[in-house]
Structure 1
């Protein structure tokens, strides 16, 4: 029997954030959960990190959306995660930016490869912005515009 994957949004509790803040603080350095009956559960590192992020966000008054993903994605699922069109994703795949597998006539993308690509793209963007800012500071154009030009 298969279970349907669905996303779920958790809202911060309406009462005091003090208990959540205490829980977030207590999670730093502990990798075991103790249930109400005293049973201890050792958490894998990935689960522990996710739980800590959830509790910290909720303690700061933020909502959390939990959305399970399969680890093998269709091109449409991968494009949706990257927020690009499917043809754009296919260009990235065919250009070697993101590894993929062929299943018959269909391309499949591993979620881990997609996350790696997102991080590489983020680093490239940050590096390019840093370089632009450095060049602008060197040639004096960084301070050249005192205000935005009128467009109307």
Structure 2
């Protein structure tokens, strides 16, 4: 079975925002922003992108698949690291141009390729008109060099 999606271009504003038709608004590159959140805690784990095939694979398999812009291909989250994201649900935002991918993070619990639970492990601070990144204390759950090899 291959899941397909209605074209957003054919829907009225009312149908897009209030209707039952799932019609993701993929951008000019065929991508939609996907924000992965942990079902148990609500923590934002990562932001990625999906094309229609990655979205369909996610819905068909129950495991998160994304589209890598840098590699130009679909990847299953955890295919190398073992940090698979089991799908709980997907929510579309009001105009269907972003998706909230609610997951159960498996493995050691690290969604980020740096080995941390979340990709959002630093906060922006401003001092003397300069913005810097400051770690929030998110520990590494695995060593990325052991998982992905030396960079």
TM-score, normalising length: structure 2: 0.30
**Larger strand fraction of residues:** 2
Larger Rg: 1
